[in-house]
Amino acid sequence: MKQETNEESLGAPCGLDCARCPIYLAVTDRVLAERIAQSEGRPVEEIHCAGCRVDLSQSWVPNCATYECCVNQKGLGFCYECEDFPCPKIAPFRNSPLPHNIKLYNLLRMQKVGLSKWVKEEAEDAYHRYFKGKLVCPGEEPQ
């Protein structure tokens, strides 16, 4: 299995960025946890995630097929490193508060620019553009 770095521990193998995930952030933000609990119809005590690289058993999806395949079976750090990427195991999961395409976008950017650059320059900007940005069509300048 690959040696994990601090940079790798910031992202799940599927491309989710734990540092920006609402479920992960809800551990230290009671208001956010209550809001997610209400929208999910679950007790607030169930709204937590340590991040799959920290403790898979305490993650939002403790039986994650993507993690099992990527990390445990293939010994990879991220799905983009797999010759079968993308595959059905990276499909959306039912209870994610984040849109599925952010995972794919993150993985493709990691693959293209490298993990270090993605962590330092891309990750925060991607979330900002996705959730607060304006639609920009190819050929247009961002506003």
CA–CA separation, 137 and 60 (whole Å): 34
Average pLDDT (23-51) is 89
With a CB cutoff of 8 Å and minimum separation 6, the contacts of 24 are 18, 49, 50, 51
* pLDDT, position 49: 85
- The tens digit of pLDDT for each residue in 56-108 reads 777 777 788 899 999 999 999 999 999 999 988 887 766 565 677 888 888 99
Average per-residue pLDDT for the chain: 79
With a CB cutoff of 8 Å and minimum separation 6, the contacts of 103 are 14, 15, 16, 90
Instruction: Quote the pTM value.
Output: 0.73
Domain boundaries, the chain: 6-130
Residue percentage of the chain with pLDDT more than 90: 23
- The tens digit of pLDDT for each residue in 42-59 reads 899 888 888 888 877 777
